[in-house]
Amino acid sequence: MSFRITIARTGRSFPAEGEESLLDAALRHGVPLRYGCRRGKCSTCKHLVVKGEVDDHGISAYALLDDERDEGVTLLCQAFPRSDCLIELVEDGDDVDVELPVPRLVGARLAEATALSRSLWSVVLELDEPLDFIAGQYVEVAVPGLPGVTRPYSVASAAGVGDRLELTVKRIEGGRFSGQLGSLPPGTPTTVRGPFGEMHLRRSGRPVTLVGAGSGIGPLLGILRTLAETEPARPARLFYGAATRRDLPYGDELRRLANALASFESVITLSRPEPDDGWDGPVGRVAAALARSFGDESAIDAYVCGPPEMCEHVSMFLEARGVPGRQIHADGFYAAD
């Protein structure tokens, strides 16, 4: 059964199927709105149902408080329409300056999978047709051999590269997709759905500060690659944290980008350097490295990717130092269900 969903501020309306989340329906029809993980964990897509009924019983009390639910607030990614609805979007003043691509499903095949470090892999997919995306966004990849199971991975490719996507994947022993890396043969079929995410490169011209840890390097690398191709004079700084030297990926690529970008600085920090690392750089958390070198820099665009706690800590620090919230774009990588 299909229902009519209307956005209160603009009057724009679109249909949503009963088994389709309000968020998926909105994205399918190109409606711009605030959202994040699409899995009910980050609570970014909290918006208000002014009229109508939705089924959102699957939302945990941690993600949506009882008093919020009583006021009509819901998570659009976990809310399914049961009648026509009037939705009031909670805006945060973001200065989105491009029209986001509408997510769609395309066929794909595994082209190559290469270990970058002890835990990170570069996974390259060949697509049946080009997929438009903005640097920093992510896609959902169908897990081979498990119908209906998908995993979200950020795109490390520069925007506009055509029918090949590079993803940066953290390999987890026993993981449904990542646990198969190293054994999946080239040509393994899958599908890609996307792109998704509001953590994407803006065209503001402001200097760029990128902060990441672990597989958070993937979307940040995509942003840097895109800057090198489209805005090489735009200043950029990368703060990246790993456990040991053996956990550092993309060393050669970062050196190439340092030559391609007119003003680029990378600060790499290790949290647990090993005795034989030969490491003479910063030691500690990446957030601390950012704090040590951060000056009067409120006129920046900040992109933060990786563990949710790190993203929250860095975002709070940047706001406390005067960076407007609309210029801070974070993507916390939550564990899969």
What percentage of the chain exceeds 90 in pLDDT? 77
Q: How remote is the C-alpha of 107 from its chain's centroid?
A: 21
Give a yes or no: residue 162 inside a domain: yes
Q: Let me know whether 227 and 140 are in one domain.
A: no
- Exposure string (b/e) for 183-194, b if CB count within 10 Å is 16 or more? eeeeebebbbbb
Distance CA 213, CA 295 (A): 21
Residues 222-239: what's their mean pLDDT? 97
3-state secondary structure 71-124: CCEEEHHHCEECCCEEEECCCCCCCCCCCCCCCEEEEEEEEEEEECCCCEEEEE
In three-state secondary structure terms, 171 is coil
Report the CATH number at residue 318: 3.40.50.80
Among 32, 57, 88, give the residue marking a domain's end.
Answer: 88
Report in angstroms the alpha-carbon separations of 161 from 108, 130, 157, 207, 272.
15, 8, 7, 24, 36
Among 141, 163, 196, give the residue marking a domain's end.
Answer: 196
Q: Let me know whether 186 and 223 are in one domain.
A: no
Report the CATH number at residue 26: 3.10.20.30
Specify the pLDDT at position 213: 96
The answer to whether residue 334 scores a pLDDT higher than 90 is: no
Among 196, 229, 261, give the residue marking a domain's end.
Answer: 196
Specify the pLDDT at position 97: 55
Phi, psi for residue 294 in degrees, rounded to 5? -85, 130
Report the CATH number at residue 119: 2.40.30.10
Give a yes or no: residue 97 inside a domain: no
Question: Tens digit of pLDDT for each residue in 167-179?
Answer: 999 999 999 999 9
Q: Let me know whether 307 and 214 are in one domain.
A: yes
* Token representation of residue 335: 């564990």
Give a yes or no: residue 96 inside a domain: no
Cα Rg of the chain, angstroms: 20
Q: Let me know whether 219 and 312 are in one domain.
A: yes
Q: How many domains does the chain have?
A: 3
Distance CA 148, CA 142 (A): 7
Please give the residue range of the domain that contains residue 45. Answer: 2-88
The answer to whether residue 98 scores a pLDDT higher than 80 is: no
Q: Let me know whether 190 and 212 are in one domain.
A: no
Closest of 124, 95, 125 to residue 108, by C-alpha: 125
User: Which residue's entry shows tokens 């910063």?
Assistant: 282
The answer to whether residue 191 scores a pLDDT higher than 90 is: yes
> Residue 161 — pLDDT band, cuts 50, 70, 90?
low
Specify the pLDDT at position 92: 53
Question: Tens digit of pLDDT for each residue in 39-85?
Answer: 888 888 999 999 999 999 889 888 888 888 889 999 999 999 999 99
Question: Tens digit of pLDDT for each residue in 255-295?
Answer: 999 999 999 999 999 999 998 888 988 999 999 999 999 98
> Residue 33 — pLDDT band, cuts 50, 70, 90?
confident
Give a yes or no: residue 95 inside a domain: no
- What type of residue is 229? E
Give a yes or no: residue 163 inside a domain: yes
Distance CA 198, CA 211 (A): 16
